[in-house]
Amino acid sequence: MRGPSRAALAEARQRLADAVASAADARTLGEELFAILGVLDEEVALRRALADGSRRPQARRDLARRLFGGQVSDATLGLFTSMCESRWSSPADLADAVEEVAVTAFAAAAERARRLDDLEDQLFRFGRVVMSAPELRTVLSNLTIPAQYKRQLLDTLLEGKVTADARQLIDEAAEHPRGRSVDLTLDHYAQWTAQWRQRLIAVARVALPLTDRQRERLIAALEGAYGHEVHLDVIVDPRVEGGISVQIGDEFIDGSVASRLAALRRRLAA
């Protein structure tokens, strides 16, 4: 997102924080914002009208109230109408922001239920399961496959294994992928969940599982380097061939034996 949209999203996240009083309130906000997002994705003209900077903010707010008043809670309506009054660089940014705030609302619900770590872990891990299973990835990302079939498949895979908040977000990612693969959507969801308490997500690839002590030392080193709390996800990957590689956002830290051997081969071939 460009400048105006980034500022509008930051304001919406703050309004969400102010509006959430309990896990139930946060969950309702998330559910209703996803319902609004479904309308915005289907109605391109409406999305444009609600994000049209040439129209007065009050006119955009009034349009949102006419459309969604009585359909969602007062808290959700107030949050969404305030988003419509903000400046957006493009209509698509408004819809994307609604999605991010909806996910963040579920993060707030999980935090109040003391299950935020579970939510982050489960979104990340199921995203990796989907990424490593091409047939499952295709089915869950396919818009032509009925939502009921996807839910039944997810029941088989996840019943009793994830929290209610994680399951709802996984269902949302599968039923409304918004032009993305399910694993990519879940990656976004995990990042937005971590941002709720301003944590960075680090993905470490190692040849062998880390001991608790090694995990603690790695987290401490990353937190010292980045100045933020870090949530560490570990993937055991024999291709690493010793050492470790870490991905944080767009930054890649590669200390694996495989990468050093590849660098040596390049130098020898030069």
pLDDT at 102: 97
75-79, 85-89, 91-95, 246-250: least confidently modelled range = 246-250
Of all residues in the chain, what percent carry a pLDDT higher than 70? 90
Tell me the pLDDT band of 73, cut-offs 50, 70 and 90: very high
CA atoms within 13 A on the CB side of 265: 6
At 141-182, the pLDDT tens digits run: 998 999 999 999 999 999 999 999 999 999 999 999 898 999
pLDDT at 243: 74
Tell me the pLDDT band of 107, cut-offs 50, 70 and 90: very high
pLDDT at 21: 79
At 215-239, the pLDDT tens digits run: 888 888 888 876 667 888 888 888 8
pLDDT at 22: 87
- Residue ranges per domain, the chain? 1-113, 115-197, 199-269
pLDDT at 74: 95
pLDDT at 4: 87
pLDDT at 93: 95
pLDDT at 203: 85
> What is the CATH code of the structural domain delimited by 199-269?
3.40.30
Q: Note every long-range contact of 93-97, with CB atoms under 8 Å and residues 24 or more positions apart, other chains counting.
A: 93/1, 93/2, 93/5, 93/8, 93/9, 93/51, 94/40, 94/47, 94/50, 94/51, 95/37, 95/40, 95/41, 95/47, 96/1, 97/1, 97/5, 97/8, 97/9, 97/12
Q: What is the mean pLDDT of residues 236-254?
A: 77
- Tell me the pTM: 0.75
26-35, 36-45, 205-214: least confidently modelled range = 205-214
